[in-house]
Amino acid sequence: MERTMHPREEIPECACKAGHGLKVGIAVVFILIIAAGSLFFANRNVSKQRADLGRNVEHRLGLVAQGRSEVFAAWLSDLSQRGDRLIKSDLFRLYAAEVDSIPGDLAAIFGASDLAEENEGAGLAAQLPMMQNILREFCTYSGFLYARVLNGDGIAYIATDGHLPPMSETEITLTKTVFKDAEPKFSPLRMTPQGLEMDIYVPIHPPEGEDKAEPVGVLMMTRQVSGKITELLSNSALSAKGERTRLMQKTDKGFREVTPWTAEGFSDVVIDVKLDENGNMLFGRRSSLSTPEQEVFSMGVRVAGPQWWVVQEMDYASATAPTQAYSRTAYIMAGLVILAILLAAGLAWWVQAGVHNQRTAEQFMALASQIDQQKRFIDSINANIQEFITLKDLDGKYVYVNDAFAQAVGRSEQEILGMDVEAVFGFDTAKRLTGADEAVLEEKGKVIINETIYLQSKRYQFQISKSPYYDSAGECLGVVEVFRDITDFVAAQEKNKRLIRRAMEALGSTIEAADPYLGGHTKLMAGLAVEVGRVLHLPEIEVAEIETSANLSQIGKMFVPKEILTKPGRLTDEEKEVMETHVEYARRILRDIDIDEGVLRAIYQMNERLDGSGYPKKLEGDDIILSARILSVLNAFCAMIRPRAHRGAMDPQKVLEILGGMGGKYDSRVLAALAEAIQSPAAERILGQVS
């Protein structure tokens, strides 16, 4: 008799199917969440990497472009100053002043002999051959192709090429601008059969003592500059792959790129050049200046003087290559995580379905084989990542390192596993590196540090990113580290600092040019300031501030009338008031540029005295900062050991006795430090240069 199943017996089967379906649904949702999370984090990391790349490239291009711009400006300043030896001679000043006073067309000088005998230009015409010879000799030893001297109407009355060719409208305009502004000007670059040329216009002022302050003439010097510009645009050893420097010039025809290595000398700029309020071209992704099919990151910095811009470019493909590699790695890792979850879910499915033990074992083996393959795949990816990647447990021992790290420290991966930081890097380096680990574990957040590390006797600068590593339960298991090599970037920064230091020294030399008795004064002050600071055991950063203050200490004297600045006798009360205004001028100049507050205060207070007899605020005692007291002693000391128009140089020991006996005007501690400092070999070399 056939058995009929009771309806109640079907309920467990339906319930089983419903429960199974619920589990399957939960598993699917879980997998989707993991997949979405993996893709989200991968995308977020890729976006952050791209943002960091943009900032790093912008910073690098900005540093290089600014540095190259300052080099161009220094070169142009040097060219304009080469004419000083000529235009500052009384002979040329007097001749130019007399020509400037002659009205009309200067026929007496240009060879109209019948006029020359009857008017005031006769003497000037007689001197003209001598002036031409002097100008030719100047061009020969200064490296200029030719030169001319022009009056306020743009008419040349002395020329090295033996004739006086007519001036172009551009040349006349530049000449009049120099007369108006009383400062050097530069013509646009132009291409000639011999290469790129440019004109430098510098004002000729009247002889000292005349009431007329504006220029009385202009010296126009022409120079061939193809080789120099090519040299300044060439890449250095620190240039990154795909990076190059370009020079852009603005003329009446618009922007053009300067290419001295081509026959034409110029190339049309194909991009739409947009400048900010400072006249610079902002950083951005765009076409190269004269190559529209080439995509680059670029930015431009205006060169002081002519209408030039230094444009620093980096190939977009070269710049983004690390980011593209990182993106591929991140998405591959996300895919592997999803694949691993799917494999784990498949394994759980078979277990829950009650597969036979043997079959289950086979599935486990297959799954383990696949996971092992994926692990080897991940390891192969890590082996090709240039950054060092490590994982340390809570005891500070390495549980994972990639190939790049192992090769850098000169050990195998298996040898490193289980070692601590001290065993790999040594005690001193380990002490610096592990300090950040404690902050990561305590704050449960990311920490970034910069450290200098020696690997296999070679010095590297690393940016190290440290983050906590958690298990699935949210418990911290250790610290993940990523080492990024920034050695080349730091070297570029240090080079830029050296350029800035040289610019400061050049500024000090410019200041001293205002007073013939200041020559070498600031250099002597700066050298002794370093030695005094070290005797007083001041921190190196304060010693550097005092050295900078000494280099800039005389900047305000550029605005003091020269007849007061160089007067050999005692100044009157009115003249002393004028002289003391140099302090206020110095503060106005330095306040508007990026100068440390300590440097500004030291320069402003260096003329104060401890007894309140100084200026400008008549400060007393401890109201005067230490760096200002040091500069006060050194300024007086260096002035007295050097010769002046009204006296000879004084012996350093005698000067110290005089300063010490001035009734407490100068800090006795600083005087004692100076007395000790000048006995050192370094100070003896510095004092030995005093003439």
Tens of pLDDT, residues 38-63: 788 878 888 888 888 889 998 989 99
Q: What gap in Å lies between CA 98 and CA 642, rounded to an integer?
A: 38
Contact (CB, 8 A) for 215 and 178: yes
Contact (CB, 8 A) for 530 and 100: no
Amino acid at 186: F
Is pLDDT of 10 > 50?
A: no
Query: What is the value of pTM for the model shown?
Result: 0.46
Distances (CA, A) of 303 to 181, 248, 354, 506, 682: 19, 10, 79, 17, 38
Matching residue, tokens 């710049």: 319
Question: Does 56 or 591 have the greater pLDDT score?
Answer: 56
Q: Per residue in 603-619, pLDDT tens?
A: 999 999 999 999 999 99
pLDDT of residue 360: 62
Q: What is the mean pLDDT of residues 653-668?
A: 91
Instruction: Specify the range with the lowest mean pLDDT, choosing from 219-223, 366-370, 551-555.
Output: 366-370
Percent of all residues in the chain with a pLDDT value above 90, rounded to a whole number:
27
Contact (CB, 8 A) for 273 and 248: yes
Amino acid at 22: L
Cβ within 8 Å of residue 343, ≥6 positions away: 367, 370, 371
Matching residue, tokens 């690098």: 60
Q: What is the mean pLDDT of residues 258-276?
A: 90
Q: What gap in Å lies between CA 92 and CA 517, rounded to an integer?
A: 24
Q: What gap in Å lies between CA 519 and CA 516, rounded to an integer?
A: 6
Cβ within 8 Å of residue 351, ≥6 positions away: 360
Distances (CA, A) of 567 to 25, 291, 461: 98, 60, 54
pLDDT of residue 8: 45
pLDDT of residue 438: 79
All domains of the chain in start order, with CATH: 21-314 (3.30.450.20), 386-484 (3.30.450.20), 514-688 (1.10.3210.10)
pLDDT of residue 19: 61
Amino acid at 93: R
Distances (CA, A) of 300 to 53, 292, 309, 340, 398: 19, 17, 6, 49, 46
- pLDDT tier at 365, thresholds 50, 70, 90: confident
Q: What is the mean pLDDT of residues 406-431?
A: 84
The two structure tokens encoding residue 521: 């004064």
Q: What is the mean pLDDT of residues 663-669?
A: 90
- Asked whether the CA dihedral 107, 113, 119, 125 is positive or negative, the reply is positive
**Summary mean pLDDT of the chain:** 83
Q: What is the mean pLDDT of residues 511-539?
A: 81
Q: What is the mean pLDDT of residues 296-324?
A: 90
Is pLDDT of 508 > 70?
A: no
Distances (CA, A) of 158 to 91, 132, 154, 314, 504: 14, 6, 12, 47, 37
Range ranked top by mean pLDDT from 103-107, 167-171, 294-298 = 294-298
Buried b / exposed e over 517-548, threshold 16 CB at 10 Å, is ebebbbbbbbbbbbbbbebbebeeeebbbbbb
Is pLDDT of 336 > 80?
A: yes
Q: What's phi and psi for 264, nearest 5 deg?
A: -75, -30
Amino acid at 476: C
CA end-to-end span of the chain:
134
Is pLDDT of 684 > 80?
A: yes
Instruction: Specify the range with the lowest mean pLDDT, choosing from 195-199, 368-372, 464-468, 513-517.
Output: 513-517
Distances (CA, A) of 272 to 248, 255, 275, 279, 315: 13, 9, 10, 14, 18
Burial class of residue 300 (count of CB atoms within 10 Å of its CB; 0-12, 13-18, 19+):
buried
- pLDDT tier at 198, thresholds 50, 70, 90: very high
**Which helix (H) or strand (E) segment is 191 a member of?**
strand 190-192
Is pLDDT of 259 > 50?
A: yes
Is pLDDT of 540 > 70?
A: yes
- pLDDT tier at 9, thresholds 50, 70, 90: very low
- pLDDT tier at 528, thresholds 50, 70, 90: very high
If you ran DSSP here, which 8-state letter would residue 35 be given?
Answer: H
Q: What is the mean pLDDT of residues 393-404?
A: 86
